[in-house]
Amino acid sequence: MTPSTPNPRLAGGLAVVTGASRGIGRAIAATLAGAGARVVGCSVRGPEGGGSFLDDLDPDVRARCRFERCDVASPGEVAAFAERVMERDGVPEILVNNAGVVVRGPLEDLDDARWSHMMNVNVSGTFFMTRAFLRGMKLRNAGRIVNIASIAGRQGTPQLVAYCTAKHAVVGFTRALAEELRGTGIAVNAVCPGSVDTEMLQVGMPGGVPNMSPQDIANVVLFLAGDAPAALVGACVDVFG
């Protein structure tokens, strides 16, 4: 894990990162904490499955992180999680909607359950988590929301109809919400990674050749969450490596 340089803009601020137990989410959480933010990571895997969330981090960075279980596809769990976070830690300055799943295969083989799961995690999860924290951000007139979409949200890819549909929705959600919140002090942007070396790529897209690491994506999120100008809103940043 590449350490971050402390960033005065993030020091002491609160960041919530979904899907934080592994891959891109874990890299984002560690990078934001390394830059000085307090980080609450969550994942459906829960603390036991997210034990590696804290492994191999510098003790000072580890001290700024904690982990909770939350299924972003459940509006009830998200609401309860957000309430706990705000009671204990306050309203987050940064929200990173990273949790996601991928299903590969021809459309005719895609059953209702897998389609619904894809939409519930990738799309509804982003909506539920954003809604849960947005009112507090509005009251403070400040916030950075970063949604992890995909290059699949920019184009069509065979065998990935459900995933492309979900990520196109995340891109649309990002752009529409950015316009809705223009002038409020809350910046909404997205990152659209290409092929990243993660377990999700290995399981969901066997044979896929990664050309980036999770840290590459985390570095872009760090910029959007910290040093990016306030006028940068509605951007969907393609990251190809």
Active site residue 192: no
Please name the helix (run of DSSP H) or strand (run of DSSP E) that holds residue 193, with its range, or none.
Answer: strand 186-193
DSSP 8-state assignment for residue 40: E
Handedness of CA 79, 81, 82, 84 (dihedral sign): positive
Assigned CATH topology for domain 14-239: Rossmann fold (3.40.50)
Q: What is the pLDDT of residue 93?
A: 98
Tell me the mean pLDDT per 10 residues along the chain, length 241: 78 97 93 97 73 72 93 98 98 98 94 97 99 98 97 91 96 98 98 73 49 91 97 94 65
Q: What is the pLDDT of residue 209?
A: 52
* pTM of this structure: 0.92
Which residues neighbour 32 within 8 Å (Cβ) at sequence distance 6 or greater? 4, 10, 15, 17, 39, 94, 96, 218, 221, 222, 225
User: Would strands 143-148 and 94-97 be described as parallel, antiparallel, or unpaired?
Assistant: parallel
Q: What is the pLDDT of residue 66?
A: 94
| Catalytic residue, candidates 53, 67, 128, 163 | 163
Q: What is the pLDDT of residue 52?
A: 53
Q: What is the pLDDT of residue 46?
A: 62
